Amino acid sequence: MRLNGKIAIVTGAGSGMGEAIAKTYAREGARVAVLDVNAQAANKVAGAIGKNAVALACDVTQADDIARAFAAAGKQLGDADILVNNAGTAHVNKPVMEVDEKEFDRVFAVNVKGLFLCTQAAIPPMRKKGGGVIINIGSTAALRPRPGLSAYNATKGAVHNLTKTLAVELAPEKIRVCAIAPVATDTPLLPTFLGPAPGQREKFIATVPLGRLATAQDIADAALFLASEEAKFLTGNIMEVDGGRCV
């Protein structure tokens, strides 16, 4: 068990990658706080994990919600060693002129502000414990941006930059900060990225050297490694999990 005795908070853990990460961490011995704006989804995932998980409703765009959920996680599980900033959203794949201000604000609020606020909430307990690990879910969209996802791609650029900034800022306190950059991954969010045009999925797969999309478990396996002792000298890394797409 690679995370025995560890305590983790995973945001957006009611679905997709977050769900896979929460379940993988629990399998490896961690106790996990399953946070999601969708309380029902969080309950379902925590219920499937069992006694080593708690479900907490939390909208990461709301500082009050975060304070409440992180305090409840601390009380029920203990101070977190690991934070996975996974909650994220996107606008539908479409030309830049069709992305309206509301959509721009929404993707930045969830993907950037939410990650920033959750990180601020996680730091004091990690300081108290003498260290910790923060894993941000970025994207290949930041490394090799493609047309149609202008505002979303920009949020992930911010996530990668924050990862590196916080890695150097928090290193003296033994808090490691890394990111995972997944390629298109088979989750409920995927159709939003691919857009409505027919045949997009097949076209995309044809551009991935390993010949398939990522699975949520591919991302969870990377998140397990980054949270584990084997990654103890890694900080500031942006780990591409992309079947070679960014080469």
Would residue 108 be called left, alpha or beta, if left means φ above 0 and alpha means ψ between -120 and 50 degrees?
Answer: alpha
152 in catalytic set: yes
Residue 187 in contact with ligand NAD, rule: CB under 6 A: yes
Residue 60 in contact with ligand NAD, rule: CB under 6 A: yes
Q: Assess contact for 152 and 211: CB atoms under 8 A.
A: no
Q: What gap in Å lies between CA 1 and CA 77, rounded to an integer?
A: 18
Q: Assess contact for 26 and 32: CB atoms under 8 A.
A: yes
- The distance of closest approach from Cβ of residue 108 to ligand NAD in the complex, given in angstroms and rounded to an integer, is 12
**Token couple for 18:** 């977050």
Residue 38 in contact with ligand NAD, rule: CB under 6 A: yes
Q: Which of 39, 189, 205, 234 binds ligand NAD (CB under 6 A)?
A: 189
Q: Which is nearer to ligand NAD, 71 or 171 (CB)?
A: 71
- The distance of closest approach from Cβ of residue 182 to ligand NAD in the complex, given in angstroms and rounded to an integer, is 4
Q: Which is nearer to ligand NAD, 63 or 127 (CB)?
A: 63
Residue 243 in contact with ligand NAD, rule: CB under 6 A: no
- Phi, then psi, of 178 in degrees rounded to 5: -130, 165
Q: Which of 18, 132, 148, 243 binds ligand NAD (CB under 6 A)?
A: 18
Show contacts with ligand NAD in window 39-58 (CB under 6 A): 41, 58
Which range binds ligand NAD by CB under 6 A, 7-15, 93-101, 203-211, 229-237? 7-15
Residue 17 in contact with ligand NAD, rule: CB under 6 A: yes
- Phi, then psi, of 157 in degrees rounded to 5: -60, -45
Residue 162 in contact with ligand NAD, rule: CB under 6 A: no
> What one-character DSSP code corresponds to residue 81?
S
Catalytic residue, chosen from 25, 70, 152, 193, is 152
Per-residue x/- track, 120-149, ligand NAD (CB under 6 A):
-----------------x-x----------
Would residue 6 be called left, alpha or beta, if left means φ above 0 and alpha means ψ between -120 and 50 degrees?
Answer: beta
82-85 and 53-57: which strand pairing? unpaired
Q: Assess contact for 238 and 226: CB atoms under 8 A.
A: no
Q: Which is nearer to ligand NAD, 81 or 240 (CB)?
A: 240
Q: What gap in Å lies between CA 143 and CA 133, rounded to an integer?
A: 23
C-alpha torsion 146→218→234→132, nearest 10: 110
> What one-character DSSP code corresponds to residue 31?
E
The residues annotated with a catalytic role in the active site are 152
Q: Which residues bind ligand NAD (CB under 6 A)?
A: 11-12, 14-18, 36-38, 41, 58-61, 86-89, 110, 114, 137, 139, 182, 184-185, 187-190, 193
